[in-house]
Structure formats: structure tokens, C-alpha cells
Structure 1
Amino acid sequence: MPHYNSARAPFLLALASTLTLTLSACEPALTTPPGQVTHAIQLRQALELDDLEAVGVTVDAETGQVFVLEAWKGIYELLPDGTATLVAAADALPTPDVPQQSEFTDIAVLDEGVFALTAAADGYLLDLNEDTLQQHFCYEPGWEEEPLYQVTHSLDYDPTTDILYAQPQTFSDADGSLVSAQVGQWDAQDGFDLAWHALQDANFVAGGLAADGEGSLILGRGSELHRFSLVDASFEPLGDLSSYGITDIQGLAWDRTERELLVIDEASDQLFRIDLEN
């Protein structure tokens, strides 16, 4: 869990942890696991880290490269042989133009050497080619009048539409109370927000999000997967992954070439590949 540089931090972190485990009373129980696991990687071994906090995974749609974000160490590329190489060390990143309020919480690759990253309240663009780290998008709904504070642990990029997606929770800046949960969309080129979709369950906070390129987002919370339609804003359960040993989803990505869902499970420190179409 990232550290937030705010007087509200202890309250928000405790609240977010509690809400992550809270289920909507109207939501049916999820029992059937979707698809099947095709491969699993032990991330501690691949990244050669004894202490691991993997918080995001992303797949380059052009090259198929897989990148994992470790909250304290940086960005790693997972190689086909099961090993990994450090692409960008967290302590050697460029100085951001706007200071971060937390460690980075998720990642999405946009192009070769270019990544979108989320931290508390803001989204950033890391360009390793230009050695820059800049605030790129803000996931605070612009119509709200009261001071607000956002936390998100889920981000993805859809190259077919050139849109970034995230699922933040919004809290009151005054007393830390929960205000709402949304799915947000941003133009990846200029960072302008394009749409906001309020979720009926304000308690919902995803640990990972994947755009499937077909008009839907897959969101993961705990052991559960949910599907959000960008066409009609419907929100439905997709299945429970606990029978695969997945209990704490902290990263999702869609591999368009292999047509598989990549899932980071924090409880086991493993990266799973799941064929949802099988």
C-alpha cells in the first residue's frame, strides 16, 4: 500500500482497506472462475526481490512486452525466459514537474519507453526517451465544488481509442469521508478528461483494470473480476478467481496478441495468465 503525504493519509488508507473488502448487498455471489490459467510466474524469483510489492502490470500492444511496476523499486520488464530486467529504477526517475503525493500505484505502457503512471490524486507521463516525468492527467471530477481527494489503484490504456482509463475513489478533503467511486476516461495525448461514469457502489475500489479493446473494462477486486461496459455503463460480475489461488488482485492487463488476461495476485506474489475465452 503506498504512503500518502497528507494529514488525511492514515484515515484514508484505513478506510480504503476496509472498503476494498466490502461487497454490495445487491451484488450476486461470484463462484465460477472464468477461463483457465495458462501460466503463472513467481514474481519474487523473476524480479530477484525478497520483499515485493507489485502494484501494476501492462502489455505493449505492438511488441507484446510485459512490464511490472514494483512500488518501491521501479519498472521491470518480464522476459520470455521467466527472468526480469529493471527498466527504470524508482530512485533514479526524473524529478516530476508536480511532486507526487504517494508512490506510484499502477502503470500503463503507451509507446516504447513511454508509460502512464498513477499516484494519489494525479496521473503522470514518464518518457524514458526524453528523461521526463510530468503530471499528465488529473482524476478529480471537474464539476465538484468541494475540495476532494482521489485514490486509485487501477489504470490501463486502450491503443485502439488512444484513451486512458482509471477507477478512482473520491474522498472529501475536509473530513476524509467517502464521496463516490467512478470510472474515468482521459485523452492519452493531452490528458484531458473525456467522460466520468459513477459506480452505483461507492465502496467499490479495483486493484486492477484492463481495457479489452471491445468496449468493456475488466476490473479486479480481491479475488473477483467484474465487467464494466463503456457502451451502456452496465456493471456485472464476471467470476471469482479464488479457486486458482488468486485472492488479492493488485494488477490487471489485457494481452491483445495472446488474448489473455494478466493478473497480479499480491497474496502469493504471482503473475497469472488466464485465457478467458477457454
Structure 2
Amino acid sequence: MNPSPRRTPTRALARATGAMAAAGMVGLLSAATPAWAVDPFFTVTFGPDQSTEATGVRAAATFSFVDAGSFVDMTVTLSNLTGTTPPPLISQPTASEFVALAFQLPSNISTVDLGAGANADLGYTPSNGSLFDIAVANAALPPFDSTAPRPPLTPYSLCITAGNGDGCTGGGNPGNGLNNATLASAAGTFRLSAADVSGALAFRQAFFNFYQPLIPPTGDPAYIGPIAARFKAIQPGGRSDKLLAGTIGGGGQAPGDEVPGPVPLLGAAAAFGTSRKLRRRIGAHTPTP
């Protein structure tokens, strides 16, 4: 019976070196997997710099996408950031209601008629307990409408609002809205389809590619923008305000993002090969016990 071979310190070191190199290569392979591939969402923010009245209100809207059979569901989550981050003004509103969000759809994407419910024709389902229970199509959101001195090219494709349609369609008293510092409130979900787009990430990217060049709004007319937020009951004074999106980011792969290339992987493979050579060399010069 042959005795089991003893592991010399040099051989143990070589094996440890090889194991670490292999682990390093696995780690690099994991790091090379793009995180955006499983992260189909983006967030837009609204602030005083993009408002008509500079009242100091702030907001955010997150659009997230999930596969739903042959369709994709887009859920809109809203935050009234007023009172959470001091704006660059002497004072900020003591109260406000975020009452409406209007946005354009990319031309190749449309909503799917759900066939039941008050918003079925627009493919919209309010979230459980959501204040944003009304969806409106072709919304002219003043002053970002066809009557403004510098209007958007067309009315907004869709608008969701709280309490009553006045948030999207005109003035009047506010319905229920998101109060100051109300964060991450799910508004509702749109079911979407497109003949030439498939999968949640692809839908996310289609929206991002459409919105990103126009946020913040540039060019003339200056008020062209793909997304707008509306506030009412801003205190003091009972004022109202409308804001275009000022930033966009998060989730997905933004245009121009770099995908990890092969150089780190080649380096890991070279390290692994070197460790094998080292083990062979040590084995050749280590006497067998």
C-alpha cells in the first residue's frame, strides 16, 4: 500500500496560487456580466430650474418594466420631494400636492386595451390605494400645450392624475395629490406593445433613448420636453406649478455606456496559465517523499 503523498509547503503554495487565480477569473467573469441586463427601469427628476413658476417644488418619477407574456407592463412610481432637499431658494413650500404626470410615448410603442375598468382603453391599471386613478390621452398640460408661446410639438400622449381630470386638463381646485415628502408611491401600470420591440429591457431602452436627448429640454422652443409634472395647493399662497424633467438616469444601459471588454478576462486567463506553469516547475524540483 503506497503511503499518501505529503504536501510540501511549496506545493501547497502553488496550489493556493492556482486556486486564487481561478477564483479571480471567476470573479472577473461575474464582474463582466452587465448589471443593467437585469435592471429595466429609469428615474426622472423635476426641480425649480425646469418650472414655470419657480415655487421650489420637486418631484421624481420612476418607470419600471416587466415582461407580461407578449406584452410589457410599465409601472410608474412617484415621489413628491418637496421638503426633503432644500432647493436653491431662500425658502421652500411648506405644503404642496403633486397632482399629475404627463409624458410622451415613443412613436413605435402603444398601450394595450385591457377591456375592463375605467382606464381600460388606455391600458392603465391604478395601483392598490393609488391616488393616481385617472388616465387621460392627448393631454394639453398648460402651459406646455398647443396654446403656449413655446409649446411642445404635440400634446402629451398620456397623463395620470389624482382625484379628478383637472390635473391634466386645466385649472380648478386640486384633487388628492402626493403631499410634501411622500416618497415612492406606486401610481399605476400601463400595458404596452410594439411590433419591433420585445422584452422589458428593450422597452426600457426605447423610452430612455427617446427621453434622454430632451432632458433637460434644449433648443427652441425651450418648453419642448417629453415629461412634465404638475403641482397644486403650493403653500404659502395656494399656487400651482408645472415642471419639465431635469435629469434622467438609473437602471438599463444608457447610450454610450461601456460594456466590459475582453482585456480583464485575458489577464485572468494569463494568470491562471502562469500558476499552472509554476506548479509544474515546483513539482519538477521537489523531491518525491
For normalisation by structure 2, the TM-score amounts to 0.24
Larger strand share, 1 or 2? 1
Larger helix share, 1 or 2? 2
Rg larger for: 2
Larger RCO, structure (CA 8 Å, separation 6 or more): 2
